Structure 1
Amino acid sequence: MRILFLHPNFPAQFRHLATVLGQNPKNQVVFGTTSQQGQIAGVNKVIYQPTREPAPQTHQYVRNLEGAVIQGQAVYRMAVDLKKQGFYPDVVYAHSGWGPGLFIKDVFPKSKYYAYFEWFYHAHGSDADFNPDDPLDADAEARIRIKNAAILLDLASCDRALSPTLWQKQQFPKELQSKIKVLHDGVDTNYFQPIPNSKLILSGINLDLSGVDEIITYVARGMEPYRGFPQFMEAVSLIQKRRPNCHIVVVGNDRVAYGKQLPDGKTYKQLMLETLPLDLSRLHFTGLLPYGDYLQVLQASSIHIYLTYPFVLSWSMLEAMATGCLILGSNTAPVKEVIKNGKNGLLVDFFSPTAIADRVDEIFAHRDRMAEIRERARQTIVQKYNLENLLAQHLKWLNS
């Protein structure tokens, strides 16, 4: 197979696919991206570079579309160069939304164009209006509607479409959902495995919690409202008062990956540290971690708290379940697709730090009962999200 992956980040959702395809010398694998970092054996990474950002004078509703068009132009130029060099893909597989696949059918009209659809935006009924303290105005509603323009263009022109979860597929217009297959990227359950009585020692950041019996973990790309960081920190303040021996480990960057930043330039971490009474000797911010250290955090976790708006489901929750973590998750649609309350995890009101703290107390009071929930959490991932099985299905979908 000759395949061209397109994603501004590298390798993103295509890591496992690109890796296994690159291992076969019969395949010719090219990955177009804006990212300079990283390599995969057998994969020819080609950099495309947008010429500019959307213009400041562009109407605010269509800045996302202009950005997608600019990125699509950059990919067009890269694809023309590849064509001149004799590369004509059987399949182009692009992540929709940023715009890399917008013009690919104009360069490679005989190629199959497959697109990965992560999200369809709505002003009401999912993430945008979830927080009652952050109401939408008319401009926000209109901007969100137009934000789907590039996505709809991809959905119209692609030969096949894929979305990782049923919840994410259901965000798309009903009349277009029949084109979208649900197939998750998969979790490496051989790598993400539990180790009974695992101790947490991260020498790289001088963190030794080997003598700690109660470790609560939280993982997110950014410390932000979309992943419930403010509510989590308010719960931490309560938990620390109730449980003097409990330590909290927070993995992730001090940034906003989704949604709005604070208007005064502060980060949400700064705001929480300034406004909440916290014992910093028992609150550990690790930043982003290498995979081995990240795995150790999950293996040593007593309770893993995962909160999210009704939005894209994080890989980290599924990886934590595969590692046998006791998940305390938000009672929101993407989480409920995977976690059944009391069966393979526990659910809690997203907006109630008190309820989160209460469930933490309950979990620590019934550790033996929670062991069964941990085991069923891993079984869920092994049975439904195991990388080996899903990767085989993904390859079949690409080749059929």
Structure 2
Amino acid sequence: MKVLLTHPNFPGQLRHVAAALGARKDNVVVFATKTPRNEWRIPGVSKLRYTPRPADDLKPHRLLEPLQDAVLQGEALHRAAHDLKARGFMPDVIYGNSGWGSTLYLKDVWPDVPLMCYFEWFYDPRGADARFGLGSGAGAAYEPPKLMRTRNAVIFNDLWACDQGLSPTAWQRAQFPEVFQPGIEVLHDGVDTEFFSPAPEPLPGLDLPGADLTGVTEIVTFAGRGMEPYRGFPQFMEAAALVLARRPRAHVVVAGTDRVCYGSPREDGKTWKEHMLGLLDLDLQRLHFTGSLPYGQYRDLLRASSVHVYLTRPFVLSWSFIEAMACGCALVASDTEPVREAVAHGQSALLCDFFRPAQCAEAICTLLDDRALAARLSAAARQTALERYDLRTLLPRHLELLRRTARLPRARGG
């Protein structure tokens, strides 16, 4: 099978699919990307780099900025795809992440080739994400409704053009207009539960960048790509301050970079980390920021965690949460829709109100005190990861869906 994959940040959510396709000698796999990450190669997979040209000097209306970026990406891949076609490459199927723009014009290059799109999120100004926080005093949408609607322009094109869609969770699929949902299959990317697993024996110590935790018995962890309100970083820091004040032996470890990945940055120019450190009275000898960690060290952190905290607005469910489940972490998480799809309060996690850091801190302390409860919840979380999110089960389904899409008689969006 000849397959064209595309994600602007190689390899993104397509990592496992790309590796499985590349492992078969009878497949020809090309991965089109804006950011090829030359340090990362997948055997059997060729990279096709596309480079968006700079926009004209005329600055677009602020509401058009995400659309302009998507069009520039789509145009760049359109050029690269034409060159690829001229060299004789005719894919049996195209698979790409929707919303970035790279899939915008591929039907104009290969109109009869089936297109499968990974639909991660639909921006609904009246949806749960936009309404979240109303009545709490914490505000609602982090983006103006008009900007959210503009972001959907590219997604609507993919919904119309694609022959098969998929979303990783039922909650994420439910955000899309009902008329399109029958064409979107729920299929999680899957987590390598052999790699992300409980430690086979107690770790002798944990020495991470900025965090020597040798001999520490109470480790509260928080992990994410960034530090932002969408993932509850300010609320976690408030909870961490309460835990550190109540428990003199506890240490708190935050893994991730000091940036905003979702939503908007602060208007005062400060990062959320800078803001929270200036706002709270924290014992900085017991609060550790590791930065972004390699997979091995990140797994070691999860394995050493006494309590792992995951907070999120009603938004995309993070890989990190499933990875923490697979590692058998004792979990405290926000009582929000994407979390409730994965775990149940009192059965596989303790859930708390996103906007009540004191409740989060209380749940953390409960699990630090009651290690029998923590062990029961962590075992259930691990079992759920094995039953519902195991890569060994989900990857074959993913590949079969791709093969079924390739066999479709004609692409409907062409």
Q: CA deviation at 1:225?
A: 0.3
Q: CA deviation at 1:251?
A: 0.4
Instruction: Measure, in 2, the Cα distance between the counterparts of 1:394 and 1:54.
Output: 40
Q: CA deviation at 1:170?
A: 0.2
Deviation string, structure 1 residues 339-367 (Cα, Å, up to 9, x no partner): 10011111001011111111122112211
**What secondary structure sits across from 1:222 in the alignment?**
coil
Q: CA deviation at 1:123?
A: 1.6
Residue 27 of structure 2 corresponds to 27
Residue correspondences, number: 398
Instruction: Measure, in 1, the Cα distance between the counterparts of 2:56 and 2:315.
Output: 26
The 5-angstrom pairing of residues 269-308 of structure 1 reads 269-308=273-312
Deviation string, structure 1 residues 119-168 (Cα, Å, up to 9, x no partner): 0001233223323433569x922221222010010010001001000000
Instruction: Measure, in 1, the Cα distance between the counterparts of 2:225 and 2:212.
Output: 23
Residue 202 of structure 1 corresponds to 207
The CA RMSD over aligned residues, in Å, is 1.5
Q: CA deviation at 1:209?
A: 1.2
Instruction: Measure, in 2, the Cα distance between the counterparts of 1:336 and 1:56.
Output: 46
Instruction: Measure, in 2, the Cα distance between the counterparts of 1:15 and 1:373.
Output: 30
> 1:284–1:136: structure 2 CA closer, same or farther, 3 Å change rule?
closer
Do the aligned residues in 1 keep the contact of 2:210 with 2:289 (CA within 8 Å)? Answer: no
Residue 43 of structure 2 corresponds to 41
Do the aligned residues in 1 keep the contact of 2:211 with 2:289 (CA within 8 Å)? Answer: no
Instruction: Measure, in 2, the Cα distance between the counterparts of 1:56 and 1:128.
Output: 31
**What secondary structure sits across from 2:192 in the alignment?**
coil
Do the aligned residues in 2 keep the contact of 1:306 with 1:317 (CA within 8 Å)? Answer: yes
Residue 382 of structure 2 corresponds to 378
Residue 412 of structure 2 corresponds to none
The 5-angstrom pairing of residues 147-166 of structure 1 reads 147-166=151-170
Residue 10 of structure 1 corresponds to 10
Residue 103 of structure 1 corresponds to 105
Instruction: Measure, in 1, the Cα distance between the counterparts of 2:371 and 2:377.
Output: 10
Instruction: Measure, in 2, the Cα distance between the counterparts of 1:193 and 1:44.
Output: 31
The 5-angstrom pairing of residues 327-366 of structure 1 reads 327-366=331-370
Greater relative contact order: 1 or 2 (C-alpha under 8 angstroms, separation 6 or more)?
A: 2
The 5-angstrom pairing of residues 46-85 of structure 1 reads 46-53=48-55, 57-85=59-87
Structure 1: stretches of 5+ with no match in the other structure: none
Instruction: Measure, in 1, the Cα distance between the counterparts of 2:95 and 2:132.
Output: 32
The one-letter amino acid of 2:49's match is I
Do the aligned residues in 2 keep the contact of 1:216 with 1:247 (CA within 8 Å)? Answer: yes
Do the aligned residues in 2 keep the contact of 1:4 with 1:30 (CA within 8 Å)? Answer: yes
Instruction: Measure, in 1, the Cα distance between the counterparts of 2:56 and 2:185.
Output: 32
Instruction: Measure, in 2, the Cα distance between the counterparts of 1:55 and 1:308.
Output: 38
Instruction: Measure, in 1, the Cα distance between the counterparts of 2:140 and 2:203.
Output: 44
**What secondary structure sits across from 2:285 in the alignment?**
helix
**What secondary structure sits across from 1:281 in the alignment?**
coil
Following superposition, which runs of at least 4 residues in structure 1 exceed 4 angstroms of deviation? 53-56
Moved more, 223-232 or 36-45: 36-45
Instruction: Measure, in 2, the Cα distance between the counterparts of 1:160 and 1:77.
Output: 24
**TM-score (normalised: structure 2):** 0.93
Q: 1:126 aligns with which of 110, 117, 128?
A: 128
Instruction: Measure, in 1, the Cα distance between the counterparts of 2:357 and 2:245.
Output: 13
Q: CA deviation at 1:206?
A: 6.0
Do the aligned residues in 2 keep the contact of 1:199 with 1:209 (CA within 8 Å)? Answer: no
Moved more, 366-375 or 13-22: 366-375
> 1:129–1:199: structure 2 CA closer, same or farther, 3 Å change rule?
farther
Deviation string, structure 1 residues 13-63 (Cα, Å, up to 9, x no partner): 000010011111110000000113122111100110010258663233332
Deviation string, structure 1 residues 196-240 (Cα, Å, up to 9, x no partner): 53354236x263312111000000110000000000001111111
Instruction: Measure, in 2, the Cα distance between the counterparts of 1:317 and 1:206.
Output: 23
Do the aligned residues in 1 keep the contact of 2:222 with 2:309 (CA within 8 Å)? Answer: yes
Do the aligned residues in 2 keep the contact of 1:54 with 1:63 (CA within 8 Å)? Answer: no
The 5-angstrom pairing of residues 201-220 of structure 1 reads 201-202=206-207, 205=209, 207-220=211-224
**What secondary structure sits across from 2:342 in the alignment?**
coil
The one-letter amino acid of 1:24's match is R
**TM-score (normalised: structure 1):** 0.96
Do the aligned residues in 2 keep the contact of 1:216 with 1:303 (CA within 8 Å)? Answer: yes
Instruction: Measure, in 2, the Cα distance between the counterparts of 1:107 and 1:341.
Output: 49
Instruction: Measure, in 2, the Cα distance between the counterparts of 1:274 and 1:80.
Output: 53
Instruction: Measure, in 1, the Cα distance between the counterparts of 2:285 and 2:56.
Output: 44
The one-letter amino acid of 1:387's match is L
Do the aligned residues in 1 keep the contact of 2:206 with 2:304 (CA within 8 Å)? Answer: no
Instruction: Measure, in 2, the Cα distance between the counterparts of 1:131 and 1:152.
Output: 27
> 1:82–1:310: structure 2 CA closer, same or farther, 3 Å change rule?
same
The one-letter amino acid of 2:206's match is I
The one-letter amino acid of 2:72's match is I
Instruction: Measure, in 2, the Cα distance between the counterparts of 1:266 and 1:54.
Output: 30
> 1:198–1:53: structure 2 CA closer, same or farther, 3 Å change rule?
farther
Q: CA deviation at 1:305?
A: 0.2
Do the aligned residues in 2 keep the contact of 1:200 with 1:297 (CA within 8 Å)? Answer: no
Residue 90 of structure 2 corresponds to 88
Do the aligned residues in 2 keep the contact of 1:54 with 1:66 (CA within 8 Å)? Answer: no
